[in-house]
Structure 1
C-alpha cells in the first residue's frame, strides 16, 4: 500500500519520513510503501522460520535476520535506490553491514503475505529480488497455508523450486539440506 506522499520523492526525503514514523516503510524508485502490522499468525510463522533457519545456519557462514532490518539493494547495472524490509533475510556476505542497515543483496529472502500487500510481494518484490540477484525468494501465504520457493536459474530468472500447501516439507535449493514441515510451520 502506498503512503499518502508524492511519488518520486528523493532518498533523503524518504529517510526523513523513516525517522519520523514508527511504521515500517520501504522505498522503491521514488515511491514509499507502508507495510501492514503483522498478524499473530504472521508472527508465529516468522518466529518458527527464524528459529529453524538459525538452528540450520549455526556455525555456518550465513546468518538469518528478521524484520525490521532495512536492506538497501545494490547492483552495478540497476540505477535508483531500493530499500526493503523483508520478513526474513539470509545474508552470507557480511561486508554490507552499516550501523543502520545492510547494503547489498541477501542470498535468500522470505516474505509472508498479508491480505493488503499481496500484489506488492507477489509482483513488485518478486521482480525486484530477481533483478537484483537474490538467489532464492520464499513467498508464504498464511491464508492458504502455502509456501512457494523461487530460485534463480542459469538465465538469472526465477523458476519455482518448490510449492506446498498445508502438508509436506518445503525445501531450499540455496541452503542445501534445509527443509521445514508445513504442519509445524502453520500449526498453533
Structure 2
C-alpha cells in the first residue's frame, strides 16, 4: 500500500479526493493510502473465505461485505475518524449503515496480505482495529498459506486465538462453531 498523496490531509480533503477518483483509497491518521489491485490468489482466498462466512452466517443477523466497501471507524473511546476498506467485513450492529458506507465498529475484519501492504495490515491496521474495538481480526497471507486470528481480550488487547499454515481447521472465537480448513482456502484447482 502506498501513499496516494504526500502530506497530512483532513477528513474533508480525503472525501473531496475520493469524489473524483476510482482508486481504493483509505484514510488513516491524516494520510491517504492507495491499495494495490489484488492478485489472482488474493481474489481466490477472498472468495473462498467469504463463501465460508456467508454459509455460516446464513439466517443470522450479521452481514458480510466484500471490498470495496467503506468502513468509517467511529467509536466514543477513540478520537478522530479513519476510513478503511477491509477485504471482508462482518457487521452485526445495523445501526451504523448509511447509503454509502458503514459508520461504527465492525465485529470481524479479514485483511488479505499483498506484498506491498504487509506492514500496514500487520502493524498499523492491527493496532487500529484493536484500539477501535473490532472483536476479531483475521490476517490471511496467501504468500505463506497462513491465517492468523486475533481476538480482543477483557483488557481490550488482541491476543492470538488461532494460527494455521497450509492445512487444518482455523476457528473463530467470536462465532462459536465456525471453522474452515486452510487446504480449502489456499488450494489451487487446476482446470
TM-score bin, normalised by smaller chain: over 0.9
Cα offset, 1:6, TM superposition: 3.5
Deviation per CA, 1:47-105: give whole Å up to 9, x if none: 01111111100110111110000000111121111000000000000110101100011
- Cα separation, 1, equivalents of 2:4 and 2:63: 35
* Corresponding residue of 1:66: 66
- Could you tell me which residue of structure 2 aligns to residue 126 of structure 1? 126
Cα contact 2:91–2:108 (8 A) shared by 1: yes
1:48 alignment counterpart? 48
TM-score (ref. length: structure 2): 0.96
Counterparts of 1:66-105 in structure 2, within 5 Å, are: 66-105=66-105
Q: Give the corresponding residue for 1:16.
A: 16
Aligned to 2:143: 143
Q: Deviations over 1:5-31 (max 9, x none)?
A: 232211111012112222101001210
User: Displacement of 1:4 after TM fit?
Assistant: 4.4
1:178 corresponds in structure 2 to 178
Cα 1:62–1:5 change in 2 (3 A) is: same
Aligned to 1:3, the other structure's residue is in SS state strand
1:2/1:31 contact within 8 Å kept: no
Contact 1:109 1:137 in 2 (8 A): yes
Query: In structure 1, what is the equivalent of residue 2 of structure 2?
Result: 2
| Alpha-carbon distance between aligned partners in 2 of 1:77 and 1:52, rounded to the nearest angstrom | 32
Once the two structures are TM-superposed, the CA of residue 2 in structure 1 deviates from its matched residue by: 3.4
Judge which range, 99-108 or 71-80, deviates more. Answer: 71-80
> Separation in 1 of the partners of 2:30 and 2:2?
11
Count residues with an aligned counterpart. 188
Distance 2:98 2:9 in 1: 23
Deviations 1:122-165 (A, max 9, x none): 00000000000000000000000000000001111000000000
Residue 167 of structure 1: SS of its match in structure 2?
coil
Partners of 1:80 and 1:134 lie apart in 2 by 16
Structure 1: gaps spanning 5 or more residues: none
| Residues 1:163 and 2:158 aligned together | no
